[in-house]
């Protein structure tokens, strides 16, 4: 487990990276693909996002942009998973840029396999890892601007604690795995409360996004696993 993209070992990538940004990028990506979006492509830079999506008509694409929790003016939508209804996203190609989540995706984009996890779909992440048994797996929290986040760590803990229950898996992890599991064990029955204690949870509450926070705190309500299409592409489709 790594709490931030910056804390991952330099010049290395794992066999499999699981990028986690529970509030809200990886919740949004999973929700959009579950709602029938064709694909979601991530960008750290809004201008590159706008340029890359330029060739598609507005009926074929949706541009999602968020900074500091707020919608970016030049985009169609912010980063709310609740806006990604099937009516909005079905058959569309999505282009997304967010404060921290897309940076975390960029950091590990050259791993053999990159998938995304959130509380709403971590069960399918566990199933995927149990089936594929990659030699080394990084669970990478997006954090907030280089700092630790409770919501990403508790999700890493949920994934790790499910994995260690699986007899086929021998898990040797860093100290962060042990503390992530402890965090999940402590808070698994009160995730909404934990998220309201989290600094980014508080930011979302200040922006009147309580429903987003509650949605992101639900466990395994969807079975969709976003997976990167080719090393370095930052293009995600449902497995
Ligand atoms: C991020 O990438 O930092 C987030 O997903 C922020 C958010 O939209 O809540």
Distance set, CA 79 to CA 62, 100, 148, 189 (Å): 11, 12, 20, 26
Q: Could you tell me if the CB of 53 is within 6 A of ligand 1?
A: no
Token duo for residue 61: 């694409």
**Averaged pLDDT, 170-184:** 88
Asked casually if ipTM beats, i.e. exceeds, 0.85, the reply is yes
What's the rounded Cα separation, in Å, for the pair 124 and 132? 12
Mean pLDDT for all residues in the chain: 94
**Percentage of the chain modeled with pLDDT above 90:** 91
The whole model's pTM is what? 0.95
* Ligand 1 centroid – CA 122 distance (Å): 18
Which atom of ligand 1 sits closest to the CA of residue 103? 2
Question: Where does 115-174 have alpha helices with state H?
Answer: 122-132, 150-164
69 ligand 1 Cβ < 6 A? yes
28 alpha carbon – ligand 1 mean position (Å): 9
Rounded to whole angstroms, the Cα distance separating 131 from 8 reads: 25
Dihedral sign, Cα of residue 226, residue 228, residue 229, residue 233: positive
Residues 108-132 pLDDT 10s: 999 999 999 999 999 999 999 999 9
Question: Is residue 235 scored above 70 in pLDDT?
Answer: yes
* Percent of the residues in the chain that have a pLDDT greater than 70, as a whole number: 97
Verify whether ligand 1 is closer than 6 Å to residue 101 (CB atom). yes
Amino acid 145: pLDDT: 86
Q: What is the pLDDT of residue 169?
A: 61
Mutation pick for ligand 1 pocket among 83, 99, 120 (CB with most ligand atoms within 8 Å): 99
Ligand 1 nearest-atom number relative to CA 28: 5
Residue 79: CB within 6 Å of ligand 1? yes
57-115 per-position pLDDT tens digit: 999 999 999 998 899 999 999 999 999 999 999 999 999 999 899 999 999 999 999 99
For the chain, domain boundaries = 5-238
Q: 145-171 pLDDT, tens per residue?
A: 889 999 999 999 999 999 988 665 667
In the DSSP assignment, the letter for residue 104 is H
pLDDT value, residue 120: 98
Question: Token match 């429903």: residue?
Answer: 211
d(CA 63, CA 78): 8
176 lines ligand 1 (CB under 6 A): no
pLDDT, tens digit (0-9, with 9 covering 90-100), for 31-62: 999 999 999 999 989 999 999 999 999 999 99
How many Å lie between the centroid of ligand 1 and the Cα of residue 149?
A: 12
Asked whether the beta carbons of 80 and 212 are under 8 A apart, the reply is yes
**Fold that domain 5-238 belongs to in CATH:** putative 2-phosphosulfolactate phosphatase (3.90.1560)
152 in ligand 1 pocket by Cβ < 6 Å? no
Round to whole Å and give the CA distance between 173 and 136. Answer: 10
């Amino acid at each position: 487990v790594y709490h931030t993209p910056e804390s991952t070992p330099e010049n290395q990538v794992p066999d499999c990276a699981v990028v986690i940004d529970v509030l809200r990028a990886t919740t949004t990506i999973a929700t959009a693909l579950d709602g029938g979006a064709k694909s979601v492509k991530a960008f750290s830079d809004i201008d590159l996002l706008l340029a890359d999506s330029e060739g598609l008509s507005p009926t074929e694409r949706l541009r999602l942009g968020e900074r500091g929790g707020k919608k970016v003016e030049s985009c169609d939508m912010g980063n709310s998973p609740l806006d990604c209804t099937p009516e909005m996203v079905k058959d569309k190609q999505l282009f997304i840029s967010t404060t921290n989540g897309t940076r975390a995706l960029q950091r590990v984009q050259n791993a053999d396999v990159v998938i995304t996890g959130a509380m709403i779909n971590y069960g399918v992440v566990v199933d995927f890892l149990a089936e594929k048994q990659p030699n080394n797996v990084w669970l990478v929290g997006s954090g907030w601007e280089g700092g630790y986040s409770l919501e990403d760590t508790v999700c890493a803990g949920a994934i790790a604690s499910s994995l260690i229950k699986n007899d086929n898996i021998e898990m040797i992890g860093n100290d962060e795995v042990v503390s992530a599991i402890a965090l999940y064990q402590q808070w698994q029955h009160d995730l909404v409360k934990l998220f309201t204690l989290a600094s980014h949870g508080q930011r979302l509450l200040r922006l009147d996004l309580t429903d987003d926070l509650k949605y992101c705190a639900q466990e395994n309500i969807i079975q969709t696993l976003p997976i990167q299409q080719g090393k370095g592409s930052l293009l995600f489709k449902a497995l």
